[in-house]
Amino acid sequence: MDIVVFGAGSLGSLLGGVLAREHDVTLVGRDPHVSAVRDAGLRVEGAFEATTTPDATTDGTDLSGDVALVTVKAFDTAEAASALATGDFDAVCSLQNGMGNEETLADALDCEILAGTATCGAIRQAPGVVECTGRGEIVVGAADGGDSPIAESLAAAFDAVGFDCEAVADMPRRLWAKLAVNAGINAVTALARVDNGALLSGDANDLARAAARETARVARARDVSLSNREAVARVEAVAEGTATNTSSMRQDVEAERRTEVDAINGYVVDAACEARRELDLDVPVNRTLTSLLRAWEDGAGVRES
Ligand code: NAD
Ligand code: KPL
């Protein structure tokens, strides 16, 4: 398969580096990482250990391929979509956390839009080097749900290089379930500066459960079948399975980088406001978490207006 990976950061470098074992891969990223990959290849450490030689470029325009994977942070999706719109792809697939990415891509692109969730752990350690901290699972499918032959081909392409990947027909529900996990875990661990496992007890557990329950209520208001019980169980299962991990939002806060709060807790707040016209839907925990993270971003000078 001919695959462009737009966003050669942690996740994109892991996926692109491993996919390059069997497929034609072009990474779109920034220097010094792109130059390092061109000079000496891309080294994957940890699980999937290998060095591969994907093409790498800092110019994401006028590219073509079977599929483009979007692995930029959610606040960079619009810029990625504009660049991808100058190219030619059968499908573009968001593998990002948070919601709204697929709509942003669909607004700019004419090809099929796929959505995906990835629970792999990836950290770019140095230019040209990415560490896989957890193999995880990848799920892909048509962003609006239903069967998609391109999603099936993409899942087979991931499987061929050793990822555990499934093509599914219920992607909208999967995205809301993942949103509940991220709404429950990311902001609380970032603000409290604790590992994911700290959410299994005490005040942090109450907050994470409440944020996940609120997310499930908003999902149901959008006719997505996600029970409070399932949302809470997913948060607790992920917190347990990744107990010693530093969540991506905590990593962002500790590195003084902008977070994805707008696409996670902020999305829950906005969706609740829309639904509220008909239903009595308030999401005070997500609202408070969003406000605190935005206040931190303002104070750190990393938030764009
Ligand atoms: P990251 O910041 O490490 O990577 C994003 C990369 O995209 C950066 O290197 C940035 O320079 C590059 N980029 C952005 N706009 C660009 C442009 N216009 N041209 C070229 N390069 C551009 O972030 P990440 O941790 O890899 O996360 C990416 C997405 O995947 C997020 O939504 C995250 O929540 C999700 N995710 C990450 C992991 C993980 O383990 N890292 C796991 C699951 C999901
Ligand atoms: O997706 C994650 C993240 O950190 O963004 C979880 C699943 C919470 C793992 O840390």
CATH number at residue 69: 3.40.50.720
The pLDDT tens digits for 102-140 are 999 999 999 999 999 998 889 999 999 999 988 889 999
256 vs 269: CA distance, rounded Å: 24
> Which of 60-64, 83-87, 273-277 bottoms out in mean pLDDT, i.e. has the lowest?
273-277
Residue type, 212: A
Of 31, 55, 58, 71, the residue with max ligand 1 atoms within 8 A of its CB, to mutate for a pocket test, comes to: 71
pLDDT of 71 higher than 70: yes
144 vs 190: CA distance, rounded Å: 31
Residue 153 in any domain: the answer is: yes
Q: Are residues 56 and 127 in the same domain?
A: yes
Indicate which atom in ligand 1 lies nearest the CA of residue 121.
40
Q: Are residues 117 and 13 in the same domain?
A: yes
pLDDT of 164 higher than 70: yes
Contact predicate 101/70, CB 8 Å: yes
Q: Are residues 176 and 267 in the same domain?
A: yes
Q: Are residues 206 and 220 in the same domain?
A: yes
pLDDT of 88 higher than 90: yes
**Residue 58: predicted pLDDT:** 98
Of 136, 169, 202, the residue at which a domain comes to its end is 169
pLDDT of 279 higher than 80: no
The pLDDT tens digits for 253-272 are 999 999 999 999 999 999 99
111 vs 253: CA distance, rounded Å: 35
**CATH classification at residue 257:** 1.10.1040.10
Residue 305 in any domain: the answer is: no
56 vs 115: CA distance, rounded Å: 24
pLDDT of 276 higher than 90: no
**Which ligand is nearest to the Cα of residue 196, counting in written order?**
2
The pLDDT tens digits for 140-163 are 999 999 999 999 999 999 999 999
Distance of CA 293 to the CA centre of its chain: 18
What tokens does 235 get?
């948060």
Of 169, 200, 218, the residue at which a domain comes to its end is 169
Contact predicate 51/41, CB 8 Å: yes
Q: Are residues 113 and 64 in the same domain?
A: yes
CA of 8 to the centre of ligand 1 (A): 7
Question: What residues make up the domain containing 64?
Answer: 2-169
Residue 240 in any domain: the answer is: yes
189 pLDDT band, cuts 50/70/90, is very high
Contact predicate 67/26, CB 8 Å: no
**pTM > 0.95:** yes
**Residue 68: predicted pLDDT:** 98
**Which ligand is nearest to the Cα of residue 130, counting in written order?**
1
**Residue 26: predicted pLDDT:** 98
Strands, DSSP E only, in the chain?
A: 2-6, 24-28, 42-46, 50-52, 55-57, 64-70, 88-94, 112-118, 121-126, 129-134, 138-142, 165-167
- Closest Cα to atom 14, ligand 1: which residue? 72
**Residue 200: predicted pLDDT:** 94
Q: Are residues 102 and 192 in the same domain?
A: no
**Residue 274: predicted pLDDT:** 85
23 vs 55: CA distance, rounded Å: 11
Residue type, 107: D
Residue from 68, 260, 92, 279 nearest 178 by CA = 260
The pLDDT tens digits for 18-62 are 999 999 999 999 999 999 999 999 999 999 999 999 999 999 999
Q: Are residues 6 and 152 in the same domain?
A: yes
Of 118, 138, 169, the residue at which a domain comes to its end is 169
Task: Report, as an integer, the average pLDDT of 218-227.
Answer: 95
CA of 93 to the centre of ligand 1 (A): 14
172 pLDDT band, cuts 50/70/90, is very high
Q: Are residues 238 and 281 in the same domain?
A: yes
Q: Are residues 20 and 162 in the same domain?
A: yes
Q: Are residues 23 and 112 in the same domain?
A: yes
Q: For the chain, how many structural domains are there in total? A: 2
With a Cβ cut-off of 6 Å, ligand 1 is lined by 7-12, 28-30, 60, 71-74, 76, 79-80, 83, 96-97, 118, 120-122, 124, 248, 260
Contact predicate 29/56, CB 8 Å: yes
**Residue 305: predicted pLDDT:** 63
Q: Are residues 150 and 254 in the same domain?
A: no
Q: Are residues 165 and 222 in the same domain?
A: no
